[in-house]
Every structure is written in structure tokens, then in C-alpha cells.
């Protein structure tokens, strides 16, 4: 008989066709989400909230993109989903990266 451990419940392989890579390129990415990806640090959680607020205030778009035709017209996070081709998704990710580089403080500041 095999006994399950906590990691059996918290490990999952994630495949994302539009993952942002080093240098700003966008492409297929695979990573493993484990219990180590579960954040507990209050300082880090506050930083994440501050980054999210700054990005929303400065880089937010009026609509959201999806490549799934079944989701078109539905609302996600208060934005209506529209159908986008993969090139549009890549352009939006690159634009979000450029905006983040302008808006967010760096470690040197």
C-alpha cells in the first residue's frame, strides 16, 4: 500500500503557450508548480499586491484577450473577453513587459 504525501497533492505540471521568456520573447513554456510555489511571506505578499495595483493603474487595457472562441463575450476580472490571434496575445504580453519596466521600481532604486 502506498501512502500519499503532501507533495502528491500540490505538484502539477503547467504548460503555457504564451510564456514570457528572458529577453522579452514570448513562446511555449513548461514549469512545475509545487508546494514551494505557495507563498506565505507577508512581506512578499504585500509587495505582490503593490505591484498588481501599480500595473493595474498604469498598464491596464479596457478588454481582455482569449484564444478560446467559447470564452468570447464572457467577463473575467471585470473585463469582457475578445478573441485574439496568437500574435495579438504576444504583442499584449510584450507591451505589458515594457510598461512594467517603465512603471515598477527596480532593485537599484
The residue whose grid cell reads 509545487 is 34
3-state secondary structure of 57: helix
Joined together, the cell numbers standing for residue 75 give: 467577463
Does residue 10 carry a pLDDT above 90? no
Highest mean pLDDT, choosing among 11-15, 24-28, 89-93: 89-93
Note the pTM of the prediction, 2 decimals: 0.67
In a 3-state reduction of DSSP, which class is residue 109?
Answer: coil
Q: Could you report the per-residue pLDDT of 50-69, keeping only the tens digit for each?
A: 989 999 999 999 999 998 99
Has residue 108 got a pLDDT over 70? no
Amino acid at each position: 500500500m502506498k501512502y500519499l504525501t503532501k507533495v502528491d497533492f500540490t505538484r502539477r505540471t503547467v504548460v503555457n503557450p504564451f510564456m514570457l521568456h528572458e529577453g522579452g520573447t514570448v513562446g511555449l513554456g513548461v514549469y512545475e508548480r509545487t508546494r514551494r510555489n505557495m507563498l506565505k511571506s507577508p512581506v512578499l505578499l504585500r509587495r505582490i499586491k503593490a505591484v498588481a495595483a501599480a500595473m493595474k493603474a498604469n498598464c491596464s487595457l479596457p478588454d481582455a484577450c482569449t484564444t478560446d472562441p467559447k470564452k468570447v463575450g464572457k467577463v473575467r476580472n471585470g473585463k469582457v473577453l475578445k478573441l485574439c490571434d496568437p500574435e495579438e496575445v504576444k504583442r499584449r504580453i510584450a507591451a505589458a513587459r515594457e510598461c512594467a519596466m517603465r512603471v515598477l521600481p527596480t532593485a537599484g532604486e
